[in-house]
């Protein structure tokens, strides 16, 4: 099976070129462009206070809409967004996501990943690229959340199709560089160049896969059963059918599911790819994390969610990883919903802003050595974990990630399982990959392979 690959053939342009540019490396906090203006204003000197003020106090809201999308959660705002988001958050909680109830389901996926890596990596003899194998497992977790069942296998045609579409979509978005979000009208003038045509095709194909699952749920609809998000949404539609108007519709449901797949699958795979890279470049950190797992969990069972509080060093490694390599370095385009003065600049209502979360994660005044990979910064003298408000990898404010609990749990279980089972080694004769990320709408590491030497002889049981 071909693993998922979001980095191949990336062509930077637009926002992506901006992320690569010296302006970005000078750490702008915000870039703001008013309607009709050709140039952007860059506010430099990112601090948590300024980002929080903008996102929490000034009610910055989302603007730039996805191509032909005014449904779902990610690309809507106002009352519709609030209602749909509140519903989704409530049902993620009720279905137990990020909690113990889902622990064993996620560990089934972890076990599947570890077995695949053993097979593909030939027990440490063949090179593998780990992140590409993580994404199908995460898609399976999300598929259970949305439809209640797993894909039958990695070769399931729908899973393969989903993977292909996600990869094509990431590439198309990087190529369009966010231009479509900022100037949606450009699709009428340059549908090919702007990426409009390809993104529309991909959106339609994603929608068709989800609609298949929704139709199957409708056929076996039972008002007393709630196994998954589709069941819960259909109940809500049923409860509102007597109302003269309702935002709960099949189109909304479809787009929420699409949002989940797009927002959820890619960051987890990319985070695992960065973990493997850092473990390769910092073998002493790898060893320390493995020693902690050995002493707390042992080698006879997989790490589980209730081990997390007892593994502060592993947690610190994951925090440091997500600080240095924030997968969403810049938030989606946002609209300032009222006249705002910030950092000496006047930002009129309706200005579009891009907010650099990266600038907060790399602020020298706060972190002192922000370009160093140093998990110890999150551990106090008693060996306990230090929480830090400056970690914004799940965003901040009302548009903060709604899948945070699930995302955190997946990152922990996949990472701890991988470290428990394999020693991550570089490929002899090949120079280590650069640690600089490949910028994009989401960040990913440069493509590289590793050897995975098994640390455990017998098969791990879940």
DSSP 222: -
The two three-digit tokens of residue 380, written as one number:
């106090």
DSSP 310: G
333, 64 Cβ separation under 8 angstroms:
yes
The continuous run of DSSP H or E covering 164 comes out as helix 157-176
Residue 358 is a binding residue for ligand HEM (CB under 6 A): no
- Residue in the shown chain whose Cβ atom is closest to ligand HEM: 403
DSSP code string of 265-284: HHHHHHHHHHHHHHHHH-HH
Q: How far apart are CA 84 and CA 99, in angstroms?
A: 22
Residue 46 is a binding residue for ligand HEM (CB under 6 A): no
Residue 290 is a binding residue for ligand HEM (CB under 6 A): no
3-state secondary structure (DSSP) of residue 403: coil
By CB under 6 A, name the one of 14, 121, 132, 395 that touches ligand HEM: 395
- Give the residue among 132, 131, 151 at the shortest CA–CA distance from 141: 151
Give min distance, CB of 331 to ligand HEM, in A.
Answer: 3
DSSP code string of 33-88: E-TT-SS-EEEE---HHHHHIIIIIS--EE-SPPTT---SSTT--HHHHHHHHHHH
Residue 442 is a binding residue for ligand HEM (CB under 6 A): no
The two three-digit tokens of residue 453, written as one number:
């030497």
Residue 406 is a binding residue for ligand HEM (CB under 6 A): yes
Give min distance, CB of 147 to ligand HEM, in A.
Answer: 14
By CB under 6 A, name the one of 394, 414, 422, 448 that touches ligand HEM: 394
The answer to whether 410 is a known ligand-binding residue is no
Residue 230 is a binding residue for ligand HEM (CB under 6 A): no
Residues 169-228 that bind ligand HEM (CB under 6 A): none
Residue 74 is a binding residue for ligand HEM (CB under 6 A): yes
Candidates 28-36, 173-181, 234-242, 327-335; binding stretch for ligand HEM (CB under 6 A): 327-335
By CB under 6 A, name the one of 27, 91, 129, 399 that touches ligand HEM: 399
Q: How far apart are CA 412 and CA 408, in angstroms?
A: 6
By CB under 6 A, name the one of 268, 321, 353, 391 that touches ligand HEM: 268
Candidates 109-117, 341-349, 369-377, 403-411; binding stretch for ligand HEM (CB under 6 A): 403-411
Residue 271 is a binding residue for ligand HEM (CB under 6 A): yes
Residue 91 is a binding residue for ligand HEM (CB under 6 A): no
Q: 3-state SS of 169-208?
A: HHHHHHHHCCHHHHCCCHHHHCCCCCCHHHHHHHHHHHHH
Candidates 18-26, 267-275, 296-304, 374-382; binding stretch for ligand HEM (CB under 6 A): 267-275
Residue 359 is a binding residue for ligand HEM (CB under 6 A): no
Q: Count interface residues toward ligand HEM (CB under 6 A).
A: 24
Give min distance, CB of 72 to ligand HEM, in A.
Answer: 8
Share of the chain residues as helix, strand and coil, in percent rounded to the nearest 5: 50, 10, 40
**Binding residues for ligand HEM (CB under 6 A):** 73-74, 85, 259-260, 263-264, 267-268, 271, 327-328, 331-332, 393-395, 399, 401-403, 406-407, 411
């Amino acid at each position: 099976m071909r693993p998922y690959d979001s980095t191949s053939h990336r062509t930077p342009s637009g926002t992506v070129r901006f992320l690569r540019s010296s302006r970005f490396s000078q750490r702008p906090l915000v870039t703001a462009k008013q309607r009709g203006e050709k140039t952007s204003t860059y506010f430099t000197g990112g601090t948590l206070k300024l980002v929080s003020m903008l996102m929490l106090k000034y009610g910055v809201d989302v603007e730039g809409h996805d191509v032909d999308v005014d449904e779902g959660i990610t690309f809507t705002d106002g009352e519709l967004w609030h209602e749909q988001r509140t519903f989704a958050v409530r049902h993620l909680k009720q279905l137990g996501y990020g909690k113990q109830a889902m622990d064993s389901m996620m560990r089934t996926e972890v076990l599947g990943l570890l077995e695949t890596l053993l097979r593909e990596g030939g027990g440490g003899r063949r090179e593998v690229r780990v992140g590409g194998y993580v994404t199908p497992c995460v898609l399976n977790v999300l598929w259970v959340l949305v439809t209640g069942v797993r894909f039958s296998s990695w070769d399931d045609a729908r899973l393969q199709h989903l993977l292909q579409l996600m990869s094509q979509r990431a590439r198309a978005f990087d190529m369009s560089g966010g231009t479509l979000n900022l100037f949606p009208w450009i699709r009428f003038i340059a549908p090919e160049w702007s990426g409009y045509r390809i993104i529309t095709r991909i959106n339609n194909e994603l929608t068709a896969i989800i609609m298949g699952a929704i139709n199957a749920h409708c056929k076996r609809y039972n008002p007393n059963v709630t196994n998954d998000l589709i069941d819960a949404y259909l109940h809500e539609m049923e409860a509102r059918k007597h109302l003269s108007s309702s935002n709960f519709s099949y189109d909304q449901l479809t787009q929420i599911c699409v949002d989940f797949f797009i927002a959820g699958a890619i960051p987890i795979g990319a985070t695992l790819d960065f973990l493997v890279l850092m473990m390769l470049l910092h073998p002493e950190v790898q060893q320390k994390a493995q020693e902690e797992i050995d002493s707390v969990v042992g080698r006879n069972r997989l790490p589980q969610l209730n081990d997390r509080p007892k593994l502060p060093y592993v947690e610190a490694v994951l925090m440091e990883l997500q600080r240095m390599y924030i997968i969403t370095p810049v938030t989606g385009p946002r609209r300032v919903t009222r006249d705002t003065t910030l950092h000496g600049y006047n930002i009129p209502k309706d200005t579009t802003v891009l907010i650099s979360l990266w600038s907060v994660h790399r602020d020298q005044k706060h972190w002192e050595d922000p370009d160093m990979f140093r998990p110890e910064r999150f551990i106090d003298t008693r060996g306990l974990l230090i929480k830090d408000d400056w970690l914004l990898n799940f965003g901040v404010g009302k548009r903060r990630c709604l899948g945070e609990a699930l995302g955190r749990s997946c990152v922990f279980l996949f990472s701890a399982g991988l470290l428990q089972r394999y020693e991550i080694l570089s490929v002899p004769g090949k120079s280590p990959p650069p640690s600089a990320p490949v910028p994009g709408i989401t960040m990913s590491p440069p493509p590289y392979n590793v050897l995975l030497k098994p640390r455990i002889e017998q098969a791990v049981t879940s």
